[in-house]
Structure formats: C-alpha cells, structure tokens
Chain A
C-alpha cells in the first residue's frame, strides 16, 4: 500500500512557556483528529533556532511572530507560512501578506478588567514590562488597559518596572514596593503575564500589603507553575492557545491544498478565567451588611437565626434581607448556612468519622438536616465528602 507523502512542517516556537506549549498541543490535536500526516521539524529542546531556516527544504511553517527575529527571518519565505502571535491595536503592526492567528489582547485585558470591576474594585493599575521588541504583546496589553481606562474616564496607572536580572533583583523588588505603596488602596492590578503577577505578589508579601483586600491581582496565561510558586493562589485569564494551534494548523492545511489565505486573520478570544484567592475581593460597601457578616462569621455555628442578626445590627429583618439581596444576591439565612457549611467541610476533613458531632458543632439542628444541605449544595453526603477529600491532598497549612 502506498502511503500518502507526508508534508514536512517546521514549528518555530520557544516551548518554555505554557502559552507556546498549548499552541503546539493544539496543532497536535488537529493532526490527531484528522487524517493529516505531517513530519514535524521541532528542535529536541523545543527551542526555536533560526539560522539556516531560509534554506530549509520543507513544505510549510507555523511560527511565533511575537519574536521579531522570526518575523525577519520569514518575511520572504518560499514556503507557506502561518503566523501566530498577539493581536495589535494598529493595523500596520501586523506582518503583510501572511495569514495570522492572534490571541486577542484587547479581550484578554477587558476580561481581567471586567472581573476586577465585578469584584467590586473602583481603582485600577497595570503592571507591565519595559518596552522591548520581544514583548510587544506586553505593550499591546498596556494599550488595551489605557483604552479601557480612557473609555471609563479613569486615570491609567501603568508601571513597567525594570527587566529582572539577578544583580538588580533587590532593586527591582524595592521599586515594585515603592510603586505599590504609591497606589491608593484598594486597587485592582492587571499584570501582563502570570510571571509578572507572581513577582508583584511577592513584593506585596514583602511589603505587608494584603492580597486581595488592599491589592487584588490578576495575571494572564493561567500558568500552573506561576500558581505553584505563590502562597496566595493567583487568578488568571486563560488564553485560547490550544484553539490558536488548531486554527493555525487548519490554515496551513488549507494552504498546502492550494488555498490562498494571505489576508486571513483570525482573532481568538480568551477561553475563560481562573478565579482564585488573589481577586476574591469582597467590598461590601453597605455598613449593615458588613456588620451582619461580621456577626454571622462569629456565631453562625451556634445556631443563630436571621432575627438575631437583624437585632444585632439594629434594623428590621425585612430591610436587612433587602440589603443582603441587593449586595450579595442571597438571603441572610443563605449566608448563615454558607458559613456553617464551610465550617462543617473544614471539620470533616480534619476529623475523620465524626459526622454527627460535626453537625452539632456547626450549628445544624440535626444530622439529617446537615445531610440534606450537603446533598443540595455539594451533591454528596457528608461522609462522601469526607472520603473524597481524603483522596485529594488537603491544603497546606
């Protein structure tokens, strides 16, 4: 049987970041789901090495155009090229005549900004990178941030800091702290990448700045490594990188079949948000709601009822309910139950086997009632919850 000749395709990416690796994973996924067979040219360390690429005898190239050296090397390529990179606000910044698959920088920053707004913040800042040809994406994200600030008639506070290197590390951190101290709190900060967010989070810890109470921080990339290296779990925007890889592979596939796609440009929006502790900011402006929650936090497990909370705050039950509905979208009873449930979850993980006792200690009138609440809220019984949490390691104290 004659096998169809496989096209020889070069993937020019620096696969040391989760973003590039996900793009490559997307290309692989496209190949796996189709009958397309490509011989992939990729350095064994997933690094992009350009010297001699113009003499390479292949059929097509998918390349990371965020790297200006790649743009220059492929400007006059004799084989079909699909560019992958960040989107630009200015048309002139895109390479001419090459199909381009972009991560939508504006939508990424907008998603982060909208999230901070929804989290209740009213002041915003952006932590970027020093201007450099290799991180034009960071400047694009800054621009997107400034555009949104201008739209909403707010001052755009952008800090680029210095590029990090071992000798200047302490100085870089000091400058970050000085900038953080200069900001009016609370403030929501968008970092142009998770790596950058992680540095700032560390600076916050050094300076004793509470995250997320004083500084709510969100990064971009949803990088598991950056998350592992921070003590406070970092919220992040998830880019559509796998879909970018699938799209780039599809475009090249079409071009190898003769399609002319030089003007094609596809912007891929972010795939989602990973909301973690660094942006769980809860500014309950209403003083009565704040007071009520303070009371509930202390006494939820002693079986308090809505009336007692209202008495403590000194307002009628109905007006307290109205404030809760408005500020939190739930009732006072739900809030009490929420605290009881959280307390029960913590105790169940810590003290195996003691379901009945946990129910009493957390203010549930009966074990049956706690059982029903678990079923409704978590879809499992207290015992199932306990067994499940034993399988997955608990949080590090």
Chain B
C-alpha cells in the first residue's frame, strides 16, 4: 500500500463476515459491507463528501479488525483508531493536540442502509435529543424539539417529518441537536430501514450531534474537535450495524464501554 495513492485502503473484518474499508489517504470510511435481514451483504456507505479532513495519514498499527492512524499537520497532531467488533460495532476513537487553539474535522460517514440506489426518506430515525439549533449551526438560541418536526425522541420516518408544516427544510435535515446523554459513551441515535431490516445505532461521548439527510443518504456526525493548547481533545464514537429482527430479541443491547 503506497501513501499518496487515493485508492489505498485498510480492510477490517469481524467474525461475522462484516468488512469495513478505511482510506489510507484521508482516514475516511470507504465502504462497510453488512448483512440485511436475509443475510445478504451490501455496502451501506454512500459516497462520502470529503470536507476539510486532513490528507496523508500514517498507519501506526494494523490488525485483522483494527487500524491506528496518525497525522501531524499545521501544528495539529491527531490520532484515529478504528476497531470493528463481532457485534457489528465500529469504534472510532480520535484525539488531537496542538500548540495553539485549533479545530479539526474528522471524517464522518454517510449511510444508506438499503445498500442500493434507493431513497432514505422511509428510514426511521430516533434521536435522544430534547433541543436543536434552528439555524443549522450550533450557536446560541437552541430550541425545544417538543411539538415540532424535530422531535425524534420517538422514532419517525424522515420524509414524512420533512412534510410537516413549519419544518422549513424540505430538502433534508442539516441541523445540530443537543443530546440528552452525559459525557461518557451514550446511546444517541438509531436509524432503521424497514426494507432491508438493517439498524444503525450511534453512540457518542459528545453532547452535540449534526444530523444531515439527503435524498439517498444520511449522516450522523459529531462536531469538529475544538483543540486547546496543552490539552488533549478527544472524540469517542460507535456506529453499530445490526438487523431489526435480531435487535428485537433484546440480545446485545448493551455496549462495551471500555475502549
């Protein structure tokens, strides 16, 4: 694998046939092959928009199911660790330090749980969020979700919510939500696709979640890391892919909090 080659990738596998490809170029997720309720595998990642995530990561360690990457660029030192577990959890731990105040946007995956060229409008979203920022960006003036199209505390289909009067975002959500969890890894979101039966759960150690939805893909992303000099900024995430019928059995509901 050569650095600089935009197609170079690391492949992680778990004991149940899932595989995840991580770009050696910009450390983003390139593909995630996961079974549907019929056991059929498909890539559930949609083409990733590449925001300003840094390019030129170095691989520090690679095993069958994990990879550690690091980068030093413009005075920011960052490390990213991906680990795929047998229960379908992809742990993504990031940390960064800098000599001055800095921001670092780590790459976030876009999903389509159908695994095909189909819309995500009928995907059902649940968010553990009581407040959101109407302006899109996280700033001042958060609002309660209660009584609005943004109340996903009970699961609701994305497209039907966008049709609510006053949703004022007919093309899709692009909003920051305030999570109800604490600063340890908590259950923040769940997306289910009735057609394939796939279920994506999202756990984060953060208190803000950026939710973006388009016609054929969606993204649950943490905000950019805010780095203060002399401190280590950390990001802790888990995306867990399963199948509705299996999750419904109540097995594997707890997540391993040690990382």
A and B associate in one complex? yes
List the interface of chain A (C-beta within 8 A of B).
Answer: 29-30, 33-36, 107, 111, 114, 118-119, 238, 240, 242-243, 246-247, 250-251, 253-254, 259, 261, 264, 266-273, 275, 328-330, 376, 378-380
- Tell me whether chain B's interface is mostly helix, strand or loop, or mixed: loop
- Residue of A251, A254, A268 with most partner-chain B CB within 10 A: A268
Q: Are B160 and A264 in contact (CB under 8 A)?
A: no
Q: Are A33 and B194 in contact (CB under 8 A)?
A: no
Given contacts A275-B245, A329-B35, A330-B39, contact A267 B195 (CB under 8 A): no
Given contacts A261-B165, A328-B39, A329-B41, contact A30 B157 (CB under 8 A): no
Which chain B positions have C-beta within 8 A of A35? 146-147
A-B contact pairs, 24 of them (CB 8 A): A33-B146, A33-B151, A111-B194, A240-B160, A242-B154, A243-B155, A243-B160, A246-B154, A250-B147, A251-B165, A266-B163, A269-B121, A269-B122, A269-B160, A272-B192, A273-B244, A275-B37, A275-B197, A329-B40, A329-B41, A330-B39, A376-B16, A376-B86, A379-B251
Cβ of B227 within 8 Å of any chain A Cβ, yes or no, is no
Which chain B positions have C-beta within 8 A of A243? 154-157, 160
- Residue of B17, B86, B147, B149 with most partner-chain A CB within 10 A: B147
Question: Nearest Cβ distance between residue B163 and chain A, in whole angstroms?
Answer: 5
Cβ of B53 within 8 Å of any chain A Cβ, yes or no, is no
Q: Are B147 and A33 in contact (CB under 8 A)?
A: yes
Q: Are A272 and B194 in contact (CB under 8 A)?
A: yes
Chain B interface bracket (under 10, 10 to 19, 20 to 34, 35 or more): 35 or more
Bound form: Cα–Cα A376–B17 in Å:
13
Bound form: Cα–Cα A36–B147 in Å:
9
Q: Are B166 and A254 in contact (CB under 8 A)?
A: yes
List the interface of chain B (C-beta within 8 A of A).
Answer: 15-17, 35, 37-41, 86-87, 121-122, 124, 146-147, 149, 151, 153-157, 159-160, 163-166, 192, 194-195, 197, 244-245, 251-252
Which chain A positions have C-beta within 8 A of B244? 272-273
Bound form: Cα–Cα A83–B39 in Å:
40
Bound form: Cα–Cα A240–B124 in Å:
10
Question: Nearest Cβ distance between residue A205 and chain B, in whole angstroms?
Answer: 25
Q: Are A250 and B164 in contact (CB under 8 A)?
A: yes
Given contacts A266-B164, A329-B39, contact A271 B147 (CB under 8 A): no
Given contacts A268-B160, A329-B40, contact A111 B154 (CB under 8 A): no
Bound form: Cα–Cα A376–B16 in Å:
9
Which chain B positions have C-beta within 8 A of A378? 251-252
Which chain A positions have C-beta within 8 A of B147? 30, 33-36, 250, 253
- Residue of B163, B195, B197 with most partner-chain A CB within 10 A: B195
- Tell me whether chain A's interface is mostly helix, strand or loop, or mixed: mixed
Question: Nearest Cβ distance between residue B51 and chain A, in whole angstroms?
Answer: 31
Which chain B positions have C-beta within 8 A of A114? 195
Question: Nearest Cβ distance between residue B41 and chain A, in whole angstroms?
Answer: 6
Q: Which residue of B lies closest to A385 (CB)?
A: B251
Given contacts A247-B160, A268-B160, contact A254 B122 (CB under 8 A): no
Question: Nearest Cβ distance between residue B18 and chain A, in whole angstroms?
Answer: 12
Known: A111-B195, A243-B160. 12 other contacts (CB 8 A): A34-B146, A36-B147, A114-B195, A240-B157, A243-B154, A261-B165, A266-B160, A269-B157, A271-B194, A272-B244, A329-B39, A376-B15
Bound form: Cα–Cα A234–B165 in Å:
37
Given contacts A243-B156, A246-B154, A253-B147, contact A273 B197 (CB under 8 A): yes
Question: Nearest Cβ distance between residue B246 and chain A, in whole angstroms?
Answer: 10
Which chain B positions have C-beta within 8 A of A254? 165-166
Which chain A positions have C-beta within 8 A of B40? 118, 329
Q: Which residue of B lies closest to A378 (CB)?
A: B251
Bound form: Cα–Cα A10–B195 in Å:
35
Bound form: Cα–Cα A114–B196 in Å:
10
Q: Are B165 and A270 in contact (CB under 8 A)?
A: no
Bound form: Cα–Cα A250–B15 in Å:
46
Which chain B positions have C-beta within 8 A of A266? 160, 163-164
Out of B16, B41, B194, name the residue touching A269 (CB < 8 Å): B194
Question: Nearest Cβ distance between residue A60 and chain B, in whole angstroms?
Answer: 15
Bound form: Cα–Cα A270–B251 in Å:
25
Q: Are B35 and A246 in contact (CB under 8 A)?
A: no
Which chain B positions have C-beta within 8 A of A379? 87, 251-252
Q: Are A269 and B159 in contact (CB under 8 A)?
A: yes
Which chain A positions have C-beta within 8 A of B121? 269
Q: Are A272 and B165 in contact (CB under 8 A)?
A: no
Which chain A positions have C-beta within 8 A of B124? 271-272
- Residue of A33, A36, A238, A270 with most partner-chain B CB within 10 A: A33
Q: Which residue of B lies closest to A107 (CB)?
A: B122
Which chain B positions have C-beta within 8 A of A119? 38
Which chain A positions have C-beta within 8 A of B157? 240, 243, 268-269, 271
Which chain B positions have C-beta within 8 A of A240? 157, 160
Q: Which residue of A lies closest to B15 (CB)?
A: A376
